[in-house]
Structure 1
């Protein structure tokens, strides 16, 4: 039986900067969330100007998620080695420059490249922002802070679709990428006010081979899944991408074990998975965030391409989940800190699954929004609110303080990769084009994934007050 991981220390090395740290973490995540939320609304307008159909729309979403999901592991290691504050700063600068590239892209290919560079910036920002909170808060205060971070970070998802829709309909989709400039500028100023940081004493080399295996594995699978819709399963490009991607992912775990055995620093510290809540929490993340990734992509396209909502109205119509999340996350985070995450992580996906099935009531008539899509999105929002903060607390509460960056990176990578895979699969689920029947098939897939996440959480998650902070059995 493997010895349990030591508990995270209860001191908070950035406690003197708590307020600034929380604001910086929220704004940094706001930048990443804003970009993600506005892009879905702009996809029909981008297709009209640059062409490419559903395949280009998928790549605009997934090029960002491929680099974000694969490099976020490297970013987590960099965060632990060189400091959360420094890596957040680098990430914001890269993200800002890539946003300018998106705004001026003359064709779909260059837009996809710029989106991939945005993913690099997002990868640097995401784990470091959350790890800052872990370093500044402890105990119940940490759970509440994570709830606050979840709620206010979600404001980006509220502002993004509405403001993005207005901009797309008014002055053009390119201007949505300018939106990131303001929060980036403000955050860079505030970062300089943080007086401390958390940096590992040792400076081992970054696991470059592990990073390459991750990028090739994730990128190859996504390339194959997306391009099969256009080229067919028998295409050499599709076959080669799937084979290389699968082989790279299969080789990843043995390579990480080898690095660890040789005394190096693995890209993914496999020792983290000795903590039961860490392992189970990431399995739940894989299924639940896969469902949520499909919700955002499919519903937004359906509203604009089948019901012909203008971009601004589609933005408003997809707000209910975020409004509910913003209203409930802090309260749920505090409650989960007192009572444990297991019940919340089980109930949340089940409520969201019921919401996903309500989408089956949507038909060709747009007025069906009020008795199908609207209540569905409200229930999805309630489910997300019940799950997100407890899930984050369960996962990060089970890792040591000095590996919080890596733990956050792994969990974020799992979430992003789950979303990008379901978006890559959207072409098969939708049948190559958006339709009412395709929406119904996607709703069933969402519900199945959400129920799977609930089952995994109920049987796998251990409340810390009963068995310790997620230590293994």
Structure 2
């Protein structure tokens, strides 16, 4: 996800001073483990869609809502809960989040009706809402500044691994022990980590709140940085375009196990594993596309936007070809190639947001990007395709779905028209601040 530009400011406070490296890695491992649990609990549902659909006679629209409600709550609550976590304490907040989503996943395991399941999934979304933004804040706080980009990209990969494990293990558990045990297994894993987390990770050891508050008091340029989150046309367009592109990738992730079950006749376990392999392909593609973004955009920042447009259009073409093909190995390979490209926009999007917003509010800026990704992509996509599937069938819905990438490309093109001008304006503003307060470090994002 644009690893070199995600959240690694070139200046600022080094909050890792005095923290042993061994302890820092323990914090990373536990926080990373909980992120895996987060996505395992979220994505296990996709692996058991066929079983729940048959047992409760559900429509695809109802199944889409069970998935979309989590993304919807994440989108709604990411910002407010991230702010509360900063005030209440990050370690306490992360622990409470993990306990809530794990107990809610356990509630899915014992649900007796669709309504019970929907309420439990609602609580899963509430618990998971701010974990990504708060978790990465904890991780970067315990490592030196020059490791933040590496740690951020590694941490975010945990979501993909969690999705992979949730769908693969969930499918196997469901096939051999029943779908309730798929949810139960994810819940137990999360509760164990949630109990260990506050025992091994201490707020006083990772807490840098006072250091940050002191720095802000000394830095008049940080008085009004929030305006940069929405202050330019290109940054707003980037939020929208990123979310629209995730409409495509998120929909495939949610509905592909059901697609394999219906059109390939795969059992739940095999469909879950195959879908997980497709997700892994998209994870590798996201990383490599982000690396290409960093390499080609080093001296030409506008190439980031050009690459985002290219990823949208190429991914659209590949998936349209794939879903027009008959079922078989060739189609699966083509879908994997398409997914390899589709989520490549994560890197350019993250880089653009970083370049257009103040470093002191990068966590809030990325929470805003998360909100757009969840509302426009991860929540809306499965719901819309579920509705289409009820009307015209899942295969036909999948043939139409990639066209959303064309809309995303058009919005990225709008962002490209204003991007260089907006970056230049932002740097002039920061330069003016530095002229007024020459003793303060620069706060710009890397280009």
Is 1:420 matched with 2:379? yes
Match 2:393 to one of 420, 424, 434: 434
Do the aligned partners of 1:359 and 1:372 also contact (CA within 8 Å) in 2?
yes
Q: Which residue of 1 aligns with 2:3?
A: none
Is 1:182 matched with 2:194? no
Q: Deviations over 1:349-394 (max 9, x none)?
A: 333223221233234xx32xx222431222322442x332443344
Q: Which residue of 1 aligns with 2:272?
A: 315
Match 2:346 to one of 384, 388, 391: 388
TM-score (norm 2): 0.76
SS at match of 1:154: helix
CA–CA distance in structure 2, aligned partners of residues 193 and 435 of structure 1: 45
Alignment of 1:200-349 (within 5 A): 271-274=228-231, 278-327=235-284, 333=290, 336=293, 339=298, 341-342=304-305, 344-349=307-312
Deviation of the 1:313 alpha carbon: 1.9
Deviation of the 1:289 alpha carbon: 1.4
Q: Deviations over 1:246-287 (max 9, x none)?
A: xxxxxxxxxxxxxxxxxxx99x95552126664343122221
Q: Which residue of 2 aligns with 1:374?
A: 333
CA–CA distance in structure 2, aligned partners of residues 125 and 8 of structure 1: 25
Is 1:158 matched with 2:164? yes
CA-based RMSD: 3.6
Alignment CA distance shift 1:193-1:80 (3 Å): closer
- Give the gaps of 5 or more residues in structure 1: 1-6, 204-264
CA–CA distance in structure 2, aligned partners of residues 470 and 290 of structure 1: 30
How many residues are paired up? 397
TM-score (norm 1): 0.72
Do the aligned partners of 2:108 and 2:120 also contact (CA within 8 Å) in 1?
yes
Q: Deviations over 1:71-100 (max 9, x none)?
A: 122112213333333321221111111111
Q: Which residue of 1 aligns with 2:49?
A: 43
CA–CA distance in structure 2, aligned partners of residues 276 and 9 of structure 1: 26
Deviation of the 1:19 alpha carbon: 2.9
Do the aligned partners of 1:275 and 1:470 also contact (CA within 8 Å) in 2?
no
Q: Which residue of 1 aligns with 2:319?
A: 356
- Give the gaps of 5 or more residues in structure 2: 1-8, 214-222, 428-442
Alignment CA distance shift 1:335-1:139 (3 Å): farther
SS at match of 1:293: helix
Do the aligned partners of 2:38 and 2:98 also contact (CA within 8 Å) in 1?
no
Q: Which residue of 2 aligns with 1:196?
A: 206
Match 1:63 to one of 69, 90, 94: 69
Do the aligned partners of 1:360 and 1:443 also contact (CA within 8 Å) in 2?
no
Alignment CA distance shift 1:20-1:282 (3 Å): farther
Do the aligned partners of 1:148 and 1:329 also contact (CA within 8 Å) in 2?
no
CA–CA distance in structure 1, aligned partners of residues 410 and 338 of structure 2: 17
Deviation of the 1:41 alpha carbon: 1.6
Q: Which residue of 1 aligns with 2:440?
A: none
Alignment CA distance shift 1:140-1:435 (3 Å): same
Deviation of the 1:452 alpha carbon: 3.6
Q: Which residue of 2 aligns with 1:119?
A: 125
Do the aligned partners of 2:245 and 2:342 also contact (CA within 8 Å) in 1?
no
Do the aligned partners of 2:233 and 2:415 also contact (CA within 8 Å) in 1?
no
